[in-house]
Amino acid sequence: MSHIESTWRSVERIRSDSPVVHCITNTVAANFAANAVIAVGGSPIMASEGLEIDQVVKIASSFTVNIGTCSPTQIAAVEKALDNLPSGIPWVLDPVGVAATTYRQEVCQRLLKSYTPQVIKGNASEIISLAKCMNVWSPKETLQNRGVDSTVTTKAALPAARALAKKIGTVVAISGAIDFIVDSQRTVRICNGHPLMAAITASGCALTAVLGAFLANSTDIFWSTVHALSYFAVAGQLAAAEAEGTGSMHSKLLDYLYKTTYEQYYNTARPLFDLSLYLVTDPHLNLGRSTADIVKDAVEAGVTIVQLREKDCETGEFIQRALAVKKVCDAHNVPFVINDRVDVALAVDASGVHIGQGDIPVPLARKLLGENKIIGLSVSTDHELELSRKYEHLVDYIGVGPVNPTKTKTNAKKSVGLDGLRQRAADSDSLVVAIGGIKQEQVQEILEIDEVSGIAVVTAITMAEDVTAATKALLRK
C-alpha cells in the first residue's frame, strides 16, 4: 500500500469515526477552522473557557492550540487543558506570529518547557523563530518581521525544524508553497497546493484544526501529519482550479475538503516518501542471496525507499524481479522505484523511476508516469545541477554524487566529495539524497548537512553478512 493509499485510509477513517477535535484557536480563524474540521468529517469543539476546559478535554480525541490572538486568559485555559489532557490524546501547537512579538515567544517558551506537543506546525518564519527562542538553533541572517506572514522559503526552515524535532522529541510540519514534515530522522516533502491558499485568511489555521482530525486515534503521528498536509494541499489545488478569486477560494476549499474523491486525490497528489535511508540494489553484489530477500531484511530494519537496478537482464526477467521486490516493499509500505526503465516501472506499477542525465527526458518521464509517481534525477556536476533547476517542478528529488569513488557503476563520474555534496545540496531547492561510495564513518557527517535528506547505499547493505545490523547502523542518530 502506497502512502497515497494510506492517506486515503486516513480520510475514510475520519469520515467514518467523526472524531471530536478540541480547538483553542484565534478569533479570526475560529469559524473557518471549525467548518474545515466538519468538512473533512470531524466534530470540532471550540472551547476556551477555563471553567469547563477540564471536562472538554475528556471528550475530545485530539487537541489543537493556535496562539494567533493569544491572551493571558486564553493561555491559562491552554495550560489547564494540557494539565487535564488524558494520556494518549495528541495535541498540536501552532505558534502563529511567534516571530512578531516577545510576548508570543514567551508564551511558546512557557508551553514547550512544561508540555510536549506531538506536532508543531507553522510557516517557515515561525519555525525558525521558535527554534531560536527555544535556543536550539540560530538563523544565519536576521529575519524580516511581517507579523504572521513568512519571509523565507520552507526549505530554509528545515535545519530549524530538525533541531526542534530532535530537541523536543516531536514532529515538525512547515507549511508553505512546499510543505515539509520532519522528525529526528525523517523528511517528507509535499508539492501540492496553490498560491491562492496563502491569499485567504486562516487557511493555515484551518490546516492546524484539520491536522487534529487526522491525529485523532492515530497509531503513527508522523505519517498522519503527512496525510493531513497532503490531503489539505490537494483540496486547495482542486479548489483553486475553480475559484475566481479569494472570496470563492474560501468556499471552494471547504467544498473540496468535504467532497474530494479517491480518484481526484490519487490523480492529483504528488508522491509521498522519505529519503532517510535509500537502498540501491545490484544483483552482482548480493553474496549469493536473492535481491528480494535482501530488500525484505533491509526494509524491516529501516530502509525507507528502494531502487531496483538491473543493467544486464532481459526485460521479461527484469519485470519478474521487479514484481518480487515490489511485493516485499508493498507489504512494508516502502516506496519502490526502477532505475532508468520507465517501461518496467509502468509494467509493474512501481512507485516511480530514478533516471540519469542521459536517460529519458524528465518531461517525457513525467508525462508517461503521471503526477503521483516519484521521479529522481542524478546530479554530479555543477552543469547538471543547473540543468536540474529547469525540472524542479517535475522532479521529486535529486541524487548528488558520487560522494566518493565507487565501483558499483562502470560509468561513474568523478567524485564530488563532502564539500561538493554540501555545495550542490545548498544550491538546490529539491530534496537531496547523497549517493556513491559512502563510508560508514561519513554517514553522520553527511546527515548533519542541513540540506541533505538522506543517504543512498549499495554495498554497505547488500554485501553485509548481517543485512539487518548493517541497515540499523546507517540510520540517522
- Tens of pLDDT along the chain (477 residues) come to 678 889 999 999 999 999 999 999 999 999 999 999 999 999 999 999 999 999 999 999 999 999 999 999 999 999 999 999 999 999 999 999 998 899 999 999 999 999 999 999 999 999 999 999 999 987 766 666 555 566 578 888 999 999 999 999 999 999 998 899 999 889 999 999 999 999 999 999 999 999 999 999 999 999 999 999 999 999 999 999 999 999 999 999 999 999 999 999 999 999 899 999 999 999 999 999 999 999 999 999 999 999 999 988 999 999 999 999 999 999 999 999 999 999 999 999 999 999 999 899 999 999 999 988 999 999 999 999 998 988 988 999 999 999 998 776 666 678 999 999 999 998 888 899 999 999 888 898 998 888 899 999 999 999 999 999 999 999 876
Q: In the prediction, which pLDDT does 427 show?
A: 87
E strands within 309-361?
A: 336-339, 352-355
Neighbours of 259 (CB within 10 A): 11
Which residues in 127-146 are b (16+ Cβ under 10 Å) and which e? bbbbbbbbebbebeeebeee
Q: Are 301 and 472 in contact (CB under 8 A)?
A: yes
Q: In the prediction, which pLDDT does 206 show?
A: 97
Is the dihedral angle over the CA atoms 185, 229, 215, 73 positive or is it negative?
Answer: positive
Partnered with residue 400 across adjacent β-strands are 379, 434
What is the domain-level CATH number for residue 350? 3.20.20.70
Q: What is the rounded end-to-end Cα distance, in angstroms, of the chain?
A: 27
Q: How far, rounded to the nearest angstrom, does the alpha carbon of residue 396 sit from its chain's CA centroid?
A: 12
Q: Are residues 175 and 323 in the same domain?
A: no
Q: Are residues 320 and 344 in the same domain?
A: yes
Domain boundary among 215, 242, 268: 268
Domain of residue 308: give its range: 277-474
Which of 372, 380, 458, 367 lies closest to 416, judged by CA? Answer: 380
Domain boundary among 232, 251, 268: 268
Q: Are residues 169 and 307 in the same domain?
A: no
What is the domain-level CATH number for residue 197? 3.40.1190.20
- Evaluate the omega torsion of the peptide bond into residue 402 and state whether it is cis, within 30 degrees of 0: yes
Q: In the prediction, which pLDDT does 145 show?
A: 59
Q: Are residues 171 and 22 in the same domain?
A: yes
Q: In the prediction, which pLDDT does 414 show?
A: 86
Q: Are residues 367 and 291 in the same domain?
A: yes
DSSP 119-148: EEEEEHHHHHHHHHHTTS---SSPPP--TT
Gap between the Cα atoms of 132 and 139, Å rounded: 7
Q: Are residues 262 and 325 in the same domain?
A: no
Domain boundary among 268, 295, 330: 268
Coil, helix or strand for 456?
strand
Backbone torsions φ then ψ of 408, nearest 5 degrees: -80, -10
Q: Are residues 229 and 286 in the same domain?
A: no
Q: In the prediction, which pLDDT does 412 show?
A: 67
Specify the number of domains making up the chain.
2
Gap between the Cα atoms of 90 and 179, Å rounded: 21
pTM: 0.89
Q: Are residues 231 and 254 in the same domain?
A: yes
Q: For the chain, give the number of residues.
A: 477
Residue written as cell 493571558? 72
Q: Are residues 210 and 309 in the same domain?
A: no
Q: Are 451 and 158 in contact (CB under 8 A)?
A: yes
Neighbouring C-alpha atoms within 13 Å toward the C-beta of 213: 34
Backbone torsions φ then ψ of 187, nearest 5 degrees: -140, 125
**Cell reading at 99:** 516571530
**Which letter does DSSP use for residue 167 in this model?**
I
Q: In the prediction, which pLDDT does 475 show?
A: 86
**Cell reading at 443:** 554517514
Q: Are residues 254 and 336 in the same domain?
A: no
Gap between the Cα atoms of 462 and 257, Å rounded: 44
**Cell reading at 119:** 506536532
Q: Are residues 240 and 349 in the same domain?
A: no
Q: Are residues 263 and 349 in the same domain?
A: no
